[in-house]
Amino acid sequence: MKVLLVDDHPLILSALQAVIQGIGSDVTVTGVDSAAAARAALAEDPEWDLVLLDLALGDADGFDVLAEFRAAYPAVPVVVVSASDRASDVIRAIDLGAMGFVPKRSSNAELHEALGMVMSGSMYVPPSMLGLEFSPGARSGGDTVPGVMRTGPEGAPSGHAPLGAAARPEPHQKLPSIEDVGLTPRQAEVLGLLLQGLPNKLIARQLNLSVETVKDHVAAVLRALGVSSRTQAVLAVSQMTQGQGGFFARRPPR
């Protein structure tokens, strides 16, 4: 597994390289200290398995770099590793296509778990960072849940709802698993591509469907999850699949 690590702090860069290298003997980590160096590394060899990106870079805004990399290299998953623990940063990163968000205060074990989930095709978002607990099945009537960014029809941010605490389930309530949601095989395929941050046009192209059909499937998926936006769907699936091996590993075949 080839990992590109982007962080402009020398000590943190060295420490993260050591931690990630410790995942296994088949892991190769290349560290760069700027967005420019990361661009050069990706341009020279786009076949990276994973990019770990700090948001606070000296030569560029990390969110801009995230959006740039996701657009230019959609097959390469990007995980944000940041000193920030703000829910708004987590949500924005997900909206821009990050497959995970790991705070730098996380333990080595948490970082390993996060990377393992992402490489298995799932997403990683620490629920404790958001203060949110989704309860799929609770219909939102099209309104955005407090604390979650609204997204447009292609998954692009269209404004923010006020950040605030969402109601947590009672202790006796159990968060459903992804299998409990009851998606059809085609809906599961659409959800899988949606979780990769692909817009409807690219999902349609990959599945050889019309854009209108994809929109119908996306709407059905959101209804099944009990959410009203792509970002909410990402967070809901992330919570359902943490510790279960990842959504993609259990996705039904075509």
Instruction: Tell me the CATH number at 189.
Output: 1.10.10.10
pTM metric for this prediction: 0.60
pLDDT at 62 (0 to 100):
92
Last residue of a domain, one of 60, 95, 130: 130
pLDDT at 167 (0 to 100):
29
Helix residue ranges, H only, the chain: 10-21, 35-44, 62-72, 87-95, 108-119, 127-130, 185-195, 200-207, 211-225, 230-241, 247-250
Structural domain contains residue 30: yes
Last residue of a domain, one of 130, 159, 186: 130
8: left (phi over 0), alpha (psi -120 to 50) or beta: alpha
pLDDT at 33 (0 to 100):
92
pLDDT at 142 (0 to 100):
33
d(CA 191, CA 221): 7
pLDDT at 128 (0 to 100):
65
pLDDT at 30 (0 to 100):
93
Query: How many domains in the chain?
Result: 2
Residue 178 belongs to domain spanning: 149-250
Last residue of a domain, one of 130, 163, 194: 130
Which mean pLDDT values do the consecutive 10-residue runs of the chain (254 residues) have?
92 88 86 95 92 92 94 91 85 87 87 84 70 39 31 37 31 48 85 80 90 90 83 74 49 40
pLDDT at 73 (0 to 100):
92
Question: What single letter denotes the amino acid at residue 211?
Answer: V
* 119 and 195 within one domain: no
pLDDT at 149 (0 to 100):
33
pLDDT at 92 (0 to 100):
87
pLDDT at 225 (0 to 100):
83
* 224 and 190 within one domain: yes
* 106 and 43 within one domain: yes
Query: In this structure, are residues 47 and 9 in contact, taking their beta carbons and an 8 Å threshold?
Result: no
* 123 and 8 within one domain: yes
What are the strands, taking DSSP E only, across 105-165? 149-151, 157-160
